[in-house]
Amino acid sequence: MTDANACTIRFVRASQYADWLRSYELWVNGTSVGKLARNGVLEITLPAGACTIEATIDWGRSQPLVVRTTPGQTVEIEVRNRWGAWAALWAISFGKNSYLVLTEVERKTNRSA
């Protein structure tokens, strides 16, 4: 992969009471790319094009998010707990495949000077 064909995915996680001691594992195209702690940021560089992003924590996971990027682009993805601390029992029982939410929050193109 050359820098000219690369894009950046920036994962951000805000402070939430739910899961505050545990990290979320992030996956791109079925490969683990790292873990994201509370108030954390993780940036990865990968070839531009379509990719499938998922997040997991223990038994819970997100629905896949398909992101299409172009070279030089940075895409910011927010990862958060959908249910919060109070709905944890329901989420454990019925919401395991939607426990986490991935949301594209920003997209920008990096221009060379």
Q: What is the DSSP code (8-state) at residue 1?
A: -
Task: Please determine, for residue 78, whether its predicted confidence score (pLDDT) is greater than 90.
Answer: yes
- For 79, the domain range is 3-109
> Given this model, what pLDDT does residue 94 score?
59
At 70, the pLDDT band (50, 70, 90 cuts) reads very high
What CATH number is given to the structural domain containing 16? 2.60.40
Contact (Cβ atoms closer than 8 angstroms) between residue 64 and residue 51? no
Let me know the angle formed at the C-alpha of 100 by 65 and 36, rounded to the nearest 5 degrees: 90
Is the model's pLDDT at 97 over the cut of 90? no
The number of distinct structural domains making up the chain is: 1
Reported as a single tens digit per residue, the pLDDT across 21-63 is 889 999 999 999 999 999 999 999 999 999 999 999 988 899 9
CA angle (109 as vertex; 104, 113 as ends), nearest 5: 155
pTM of the shown model: 0.83
